[in-house]
Amino acid sequence: MVSASRRISLLILTLVCFSGTWSGCRREETPKQPSVHLNVVMKKYAVEPAEIRVKQGDLVMLHVTTPDVQHGFEVTELGINEPVNPGKAAVISFKAEKKGEFPVVCSIICGAGHDDMTGKIIVE
């Protein structure tokens, strides 16, 4: 049976470890990942910017908005397909793992120019 004082010291040790104030815990530092925030607008009938450039390894966060009707932000090769509704930004994050050009399309029928809503994400 663990004595009360030992239990308390274990508790304190745990707390100190969690707060990261004691180097003896050898807490792994999480490497700071470069994170890129970009605003994208989907509207009748365009994706702006049509070219989204990021660097390989970037943690990318897209804030996608629409001023008119519902659209869908789809990048098949990156496994992204998110509805974008008026009045609320769709926040889409992904890690730019490999270099290349990845086509962006609109995945929700939004009118006559739906098929014209294209763009690309370029990972360099």
Q: Which stretches of the chain are assigned E, i.e. beta strand?
A: 35-43, 46-48, 51-54, 59-65, 71-75, 80-84, 90-95, 100-106, 118-123
Which residue's CB is nearer to ligand CUA, number 90 or number 110? 110
Residues forming the site for ligand CUA (CB under 6 A): 42, 71, 106, 108-110, 114, 117
- CA 84 remoteness from chain centre: 15
Dihedral (CA of 79, 60, 117, 109) sign: positive
The nearest distance, CB 38 to ligand CUA, in angstroms, is 19
Which residue's CB is nearer to ligand CUA, number 27 or number 63? 63
Which residue's CB is nearer to ligand CUA, number 9 or number 118? 118
Which residue's CB is nearer to ligand CUA, number 71 or number 120? 71
The nearest distance, CB 73 to ligand CUA, in angstroms, is 9
The Cβ-side half-sphere exposure at 55, using a 13 Å CA radius, reads 6
The nearest distance, CB 117 to ligand CUA, in angstroms, is 4
The nearest distance, CB 101 to ligand CUA, in angstroms, is 20
Q: Are 70 and 45 spatial neighbours (Cβ–Cβ below 8 Å)?
A: no
